[in-house]
Amino acid sequence: MQPLLLYGVPFSQPVRAVMWLMLYKRTPFEMVLINPGSKGETGSRNPAYLAKNPGGTIPTIEEPDTGFVLSEAHTIMCYLSNTHGWEDVYPTDYRLRARVDWYLHYHHRNVRDASVGLVAPKIRKDLNIPDVIQQAAHATLTKALHALESSWLAESRYLTGEQLTLADFAAYVEIGQLQPGFTNVYDFAPFPNVRRWLDEMKRVDGHDDVHVVLAELGDISGEPPTMEAIRSANKNALRVLKAKLRELTP
Ligand SMILES: N[C@@H](CCC(=O)N[C@@H](CS)C(=O)NCC(=O)O)C(=O)O
């Protein structure tokens, strides 16, 4: 069986969620570099990639043996869990699974959009994203973190219970990237349960391998990183990932 292809770059949060799940499960895959938003040959807006995912976003996976193609990080993670029998991270009990799905649906508008709204203006100064957008993103994220703090993470070790699930991978790649040590663009002081969970997630297998790109890029709260710095961080992350994948390949 040929290894699964994962299209994307490590700098992308939803791509990292899929990468992390696969590394956590020690499942070999091959990363195919696709640059988000670019119309170039290796871009997500190139006709060749749009033929796989008309939405033009990363990640996408492809099974070389069957030709099956799938996009959207959460759909991919559910599919991989279903087909590999990863019931620990995506439980088969209807209620437990529904709680994971609950977070995965909640995530898009409340956590993902807000985290992008906080980081994008720092990275793409050229886009002159208005302050009001950043303020709205900050307010949305703060509301979501209050919800996680006082409910999900007040009741359990991980988001949906005592067991690590897809919800944690999905949430961490967005929320975790804002921490000191990575981009450092959000103050988590008012959220002790969220901080405890962030520390817990740092101990999950594969965390460091998946977050090389952010560790390399470091604090962007002051000076925005150059395109060269982002490219170089992605390159180093890919190098580390390839070495890790070689270890996993039988
Ligand atoms: N809901 C999608 C979001 C994917 C997404 O927005 N990916 C970004 C990179 S982080 C992208 O491909 N952007 C390029 C574009 O929209 O042209 C998922 O979870 O897979």
Choosing from 46, 57, 174 the residue with most ligand 1 atoms within 8 A of its CB, the one to mutate for a pocket test is: 57
Phi, psi of 200 (to 5 degrees): -60, -45
pLDDT confidence tier of residue 115, bands split at 50, 70 and 90? very high
- Choose which CATH entry (3.40.50.970, 3.30.460.80, 1.50.10.20, 1.20.1050.10) describes domain 94-208: 1.20.1050.10
Fold of 4-88+226-248: Glutaredoxin (3.40.30)
Helix, strand, coil % (nearest 5) of the chain? 55, 10, 35
Choosing from 19, 50, 58 the residue with most ligand 1 atoms within 8 A of its CB, the one to mutate for a pocket test is: 58
Q: Supply the residue whose CA is at minimum distance from atom 9 of ligand 1.
A: 12
Give the pLDDT of residue 89.
98
Q: Which two tokens stand for residue 105?
A: 């649906």
How much of the chain, in percent, has pLDDT values that exceed 90? Answer: 90
Q: Which two tokens stand for residue 201?
A: 């997630």
pLDDT per residue over 125-176, tens digit each? 778 888 899 999 999 999 999 999 999 999 999 999 999 999 999 999 999 9
Mean pLDDT, the chain, whole residue set: 96
Domain regions of the chain by residue span: 4-88+226-248, 94-208
Q: Supply the residue whose CA is at minimum distance from atom 11 of ligand 1.
A: 57
56 Cβ below 6 A of ligand 1: yes
| Residue pair 205/168 in contact by the 8 Å Cβ criterion | no
Q: Supply the residue whose CA is at minimum distance from atom 5 of ligand 1.
A: 57
Residue 78: which H helix or E strand, with range?
helix 73-84
Q: Do domains 4-88+226-248 and 94-208 have the same CATH topology?
A: no
Give the pLDDT of residue 122.
87
pLDDT confidence tier of residue 229, bands split at 50, 70 and 90? very high
Q: Supply the residue whose CA is at minimum distance from atom 15 of ligand 1.
A: 37
Give the pLDDT of residue 223.
85
Please say if the pLDDT value at position 222 is more than 80. Answer: yes
13 Cβ below 6 A of ligand 1: yes
pLDDT confidence tier of residue 207, bands split at 50, 70 and 90? very high
Q: Which residues pair with 62 in a beta bridge?
A: 5, 69
* H helix runs in 124-226, sequence order: 131-147, 153-155, 166-175, 192-202, 207-210, 212-217
pLDDT confidence tier of residue 123, bands split at 50, 70 and 90? confident
- CA of residue 154 to ligand 1 center, whole Å: 30
Give the pLDDT of residue 128.
84
Q: Is the dihedral of CA 141, 147, 149, 153 positive or negative?
A: negative
Please say if the pLDDT value at position 227 is more than 90. Answer: no
Pairing relationship of beta strands 29-33 and 4-8 according to DSSP bridges: parallel
pLDDT confidence tier of residue 218, bands split at 50, 70 and 90? very high
